[in-house]
A = this chain, B = another copy of it.
Amino acid sequence: MTRAVSAIVGMGPGNGAALARRFAADGSPVALLSRGTDFSSQLARELPAARAYACDASQPEAVQAAFAQVAAQQGPVGTLIYNAGSGAWGSVEQVSGADLEQCWRVNTLGLFTAMQAVLPGMKQRGGGAIVIIGATASRRGGAGAAAFAQAKAAQRALAESMARQLWPQGIHVALIIIDGIVDLPRTRAQRPDKPESFFVQPAAVAESAWWLTHQPRSAWSFEIEARPFGETW
């Protein structure tokens, strides 16, 4: 009997790669979906049963096509991790309507379309898990994150609507609020003054996502933080 696929949307050297490694650790099949595939193809080769798929999360047709490919090549998706979520920085005086729209399409519309793609299979299997990677901006509309915060808040509200509708059907929708700076060569270079305790380790985020997908269903969590112990909040 084939094991269900873990599909991860949004793939880079930080949380994306760590999530892929964690969900592939027991040999389960993982599908890596991202706009470009240079990084994900390389990563897929290092993992036991992984495949990379090109998928622009802001384009519903592209998301639908990619998930159709996943189903055809690897089988039904049991776990969806939605990690797509970059965004333009700047205040309401600096960003454009196009920035708002692109941010919303990647963070919110993409999540909705991916959910639609995997839902029939999850319902048929009698359950599943959908974990969304949020950010501080999911909870707070900061002055300098006008485009990003509105998209992350929309994503969080959509996740909440999904949870209320899908939990009773055995599908665990959960949100991880990353409240800190993810440890990457790029972010380290930007903050050379900061100690290691300042950064969120992607492997730890992946561990939380893994745990959420294995919680007993009588005590599910909807929203949890991933915040470095040294963070001021």
Contact check, B165 vs A230: say whether CB atoms are below 8 A apart: no
The answer to whether residues A228 and B224 also contact, given A112-B97, A158-B146, A161-B150 and a CB cut-off of 8 A, is no
Contact check, A203 vs B216: say whether CB atoms are below 8 A apart: yes
Contact check, B164 vs A233: say whether CB atoms are below 8 A apart: yes
Interfacial chain B residues near A217, Cβ < 8 Å = 197, 228-229
Chain copies in the assembly?
A: 4
Enumerate chain A interface residues (CB-CB to B < 8 A): 60, 91-93, 97, 100-101, 104, 108-109, 112-113, 115-116, 119, 137, 140-143, 145-146, 149-168, 170, 172, 183, 196-197, 199-201, 203-205, 207-208, 211, 215-233
Known interface pairs A97-B109, A201-B218, A204-B216; 20 further A-B residue pairs with C-beta atoms within 8 A, sorted by A's residue number:
A91-B161, A91-B165, A92-B161, A97-B112, A97-B113, A97-B116, A100-B112, A100-B158, A137-B157, A142-B160, A146-B158, A149-B160, A149-B161, A151-B154, A168-B229, A170-B229, A172-B229, A183-B218, A217-B228, A221-B226
A163 → chain B closest CB, angstroms: 8
Q: Which 9 A-B pairs have CB atoms at the shortest separation, nearest pair first?
A: A141-B160, A153-B157, A204-B219, A143-B164, A154-B154, A219-B226, A141-B157, A201-B218, A204-B216
A213 → chain B closest CB, angstroms: 13
Q: Which of B145, B161, B200, B211 contacts A218 (CB 8 A)?
A: B200
Interfacial chain B residues near A219, Cβ < 8 Å = 200-201, 204-205, 207-208, 226-228
Instruction: With CB as the reference atom, state the residue of chain B lying closest to A155.
Output: B150
A168 → chain B closest CB, angstroms: 5
Looking at A97, A151, A199, the one whose CB has the most chain B CB atoms below 10 A away is: A97
Q: Which of B167, B201, B231 contacts A229 (CB 8 A)?
A: B167
A132 → chain B closest CB, angstroms: 12
A214 → chain B closest CB, angstroms: 9
The answer to whether residues A157 and B164 also contact, given A93-B119, A109-B97, A219-B227 and a CB cut-off of 8 A, is no
Instruction: With CB as the reference atom, state the residue of chain B lying closest to A222.
Output: B225
Interfacial chain B residues near A226, Cβ < 8 Å = 219-221
Complex Cα spacing A190 to B141, Å: 31
Complex Cα spacing A218 to B207, Å: 11
Interfacial chain B residues near A101, Cβ < 8 Å = 109
